[in-house]
Structure 1
């Protein structure tokens, strides 16, 4: 396990978190319908948490001697595939479920990479992030029943 593989996984987590942040903030601005107030607030809580986590992940990268992405182009390249636009509230929730699921899978892999590198602080940070994403998934999936 190289330090590069380890910091590369953290960099991908940062970029994918940024992409999910932008997606969630856009849904916050554009949600409509009978669930507007509930989802508008829910999306706001999510994008604020995602935004705050960006700094924590980037600073962890810096503490490991790596540079965090610093341009939109880097975030777009590293952030994975962009979700298709969603217009309805239900489609927005479904798209966010898919986004959180994908990020949770990436987090699981990054946790294993951090543990293999003996980097318990990063593993702990990523485990905390995973727990938050799993909680969001539970709430969104429960709302779709």
Structure 2
């Protein structure tokens, strides 16, 4: 892989780390603060989502390291890199679900960018990782939207 293509892949993977970490934080916020009739289902679903995200962020950051670069960190730095809109602590359960569906969609966008750059660089390991992550987030979006459709 050329140095320029590697730099592009690493930059895209670093963005995925930042966006995924922002989503993780927002999902954790929802887990802590959800209320209402759907509390038990949403509380459990959000916990499952942020637990899965934590492991995924670690795997993506380790891929950045495997490519010889440093993984981004620090809450302020990650928030700045991501720029993801944050949810209010007192948001309703419906607002939380809508926000997380949107935020998962933003992560899918950065994953798709990293997937495409990885493919162009013939980095099949990064490409495969991004494809797998897209599948997880698309399923999560479907589940969140299905919850909203039930109401």
Q: Which band: TM-score by shorter chain?
A: over 0.9
Q: Where in structure 2 are the equivalents of 1:125-136 lying within 5 Å?
A: 125-136=129-140
Q: Give the TM-score normalised by structure 2.
A: 0.92
Cα distance in 1 for partners of 2:27, 2:117 equals 27
- Describe the superposition over 1:53-86 as per-residue Cα deviations: whole angstroms up to 9, x where unpaired: 1110010000000100132232122122332325
Of 77, 89, 94, 2:93 maps to: 89
Structure 1: which 4+ aligned runs deviate by more than 6 Å?
none
Q: Give the TM-score normalised by structure 1.
A: 0.96
Q: Which residue pairs with 1:139 in the alignment?
A: 143
Q: Which residue pairs with 2:9 in the alignment?
A: 6
Shift, 1:112, TM fit: 0.3
Cα distance in 1 for partners of 2:14, 2:87 equals 23
Residue 63 of structure 2 is aligned to residue 60 of structure 1: yes
State the Cα RMSD in Å: 1.1
Shift, 1:105, TM fit: 1.5
Which blocks of at least 5 consecutive residues in structure 1 are unaligned? none
Which blocks of at least 5 consecutive residues in structure 2 are unaligned? none
Shift, 1:2, TM fit: 2.4
Of 28, 31, 34, 2:31 maps to: 28
Asked whether the equivalents of residues 7 and 64 of structure 1 are also in contact (C-alpha less than 8 Å), the reply is: yes
- Describe the superposition over 1:17-75 as per-residue Cα deviations: whole angstroms up to 9, x where unpaired: 00000000010000000000000000000000111111100100000001001322321
